[in-house]
Structure 1
Amino acid sequence: MGDMMGQLKDAQQKMEETKERLKSITMVEESNNGKIKVTISAAREIKDIHIDESLLQDTEELSDNLVLTLNKAMEKANNVNESEMQGAAAGMMNMPGMGNLFGK
């Protein structure tokens, strides 16, 4: 029982380390016309938004481009986040009896 508790603690620590690492993984998504660039972390935190000055004259185009680009950036961040968290959770799945908790 003590060994299983130790494994659980190790798995929880690995999950926390993965969450911290996700904050340092960044990616850039660009609008189709290249006028907006969004930098986002795999922890789904927007780090930076660059907007070409030409979009400041047309708020509707700015809004459309911003929404589309932010959504693409969030999708990319979600994919990386899910992949990393699944890898971290895999350790928990290998512990006796824990697979049943996750639907296996």
Structure 2
Amino acid sequence: MFGDLMGMMGKLQEAQKKVAEAKQRLDTVLIDEQSNDGLLKVTVTANNTVRSVSVSDELLQDKEQLEDYIVMVINNAIAKAAKISEAELAAAAKDGMPDIPGLF
């Protein structure tokens, strides 16, 4: 009984390690997003860190339009990053988890 419990604890620690490694790896996954007309471009990591923003001179003439573009493009990039992050972390956690009936 204790051997099974110790084995499960070891598997859980292994799963935690794999999730931590996946989180670190997600810092290197870059998502590029842009407005439909290409006037604003944003790059974020899969951990939702904005790495770069590129704004066309044309957008600098209209503050309200620029603000709308920033919100739209960053939200789209974050949504894509969240999907990638969720899939990677779920795979890492599932891979290292012990076989507990009904868990996955």
What does residue 91 of structure 1 align with?
95
RMSD: 1.7
Q: Percent identity between the aligned chains? A: 36
Higher RCO (CA-CA < 8 Å; seq separation 6+): 2
Letter in 2 for 1:47: R
Residues 92, 98 of structure 1: 8 Å contact kept: no
Q: Partner of 1:32: helix, strand, or coil?
A: coil
- Uncovered stretches (5+) of structure 2, i.e. residues with no partner: none
State the one-letter code of the partner of 1:45: T
The number of residues matched between the two structures is 100
SS at match of 2:36: coil
Which position in structure 2 is the counterpart of 1:44? Answer: 48
Give CA deviations for 1:17-73 in whole Å, capped at 9, x if unaligned: 000001110010011110100000001111111111111111011111111111111
* Structure 1 Cα separation of the partners of residues 76 and 31 of structure 2: 11
TM value normalised by structure 1: 0.87
